[in-house]
Amino acid sequence: MKRILIIDGQYLFRLSLQTVLRELDTECEIVEAESIGSALELLRAEIFDLVVLDIEIKNHTGIRMIEFVSRISILASVIIFTSAHEHVHAERYLLEGAKGFIQKSAKREEVVGAMSAVLNGRNYVSNNVHKLLLNGRPVYNVREPRLSDREREVMQLILQGKLTKEIAGILQIQGNTVSTYKANIFRKMGVSNVLDLAKKVSVD
């Protein structure tokens, strides 16, 4: 029997995803976690075949979560199921070990296909990402400059509405360091405020 852990702070998404997963495997056991803390407790105590992770979960960044899962539960495959845009995040998460990346805005049949693939030991990327990889091109939009891993973490938290002090606490760095990262992100992305940053990231 497959055991699946859904890590997502939004109840309705967890509920709808459960429906999809039970269509694929009526006998699977599904466990939910709405926070990183509760997810880590479950991963330490139990064995899972699949971890479905929202990288925009409150007070954390998905890259670090994949690292935690890899260390704690080496048998679990991770698929990212998120509202974050694939052209910004997919490549990095796949390189870090995620077996799939699917956006919450995807059609139901695509979500079913993605979950089925990873649940059965295969990798999954969208057609768009697949074409870019086949052509030897990076997944990220060519109009957007490369950000470092830490800059991506900071940007993700900024777009979640976190303040500098909150980001510093989550990433365990100094507030002035966060401000420096924020300035670098704005400069690289060619924006001057958070609203413009959100608009830039949301453009496919």
User: What's the whole-number average pLDDT of the chain?
Assistant: 83
pLDDT in tens, 54-69: 988 776 666 777 777 7
Specify which residues 163 forms β-bridges with.
none
Indicate which CATH number applies to the domain containing 154. 1.10.10.10
Cα–Cα distance for residue pair 88/195, rounded to 1 Å: 17
Give the torsion sign (CA, 142, 148, 151, 156).
positive
Domain annotation covers residue 157 = yes
Domain annotation covers residue 25 = yes
Q: Angle 56-143-141 (CA atoms, 0-180°, nearest 5)?
A: 50
Residues 14 and 108 in one domain: yes
Q: What is the DSSP letter of 57?
A: -
pLDDT in tens, 30-50: 999 998 889 889 988 999 999
Cα–Cα distance for residue pair 143/168, rounded to 1 Å: 29
Q: Count up the domains in the chain and report the number.
A: 2
Q: What percent of the chain clears pLDDT 90, i.e. is strictly above it?
A: 34
Q: Which domain holds residue 48?
A: 3-134
The answer to whether 52 and 3 have CB atoms below 8 angstroms apart is no
Residues 97 and 154 in one domain: no
pLDDT in tens, 105-148: 899 999 999 999 998 889 998 887 776 666 555 544 434 457 78
Residues 109 and 156 in one domain: no
Domain annotation covers residue 142 = no
Domain annotation covers residue 23 = yes
Indicate which CATH number applies to the domain containing 34. 3.40.50.2300
Closest CA to 55 of 110, 20, 98: 98
pTM score: 0.69
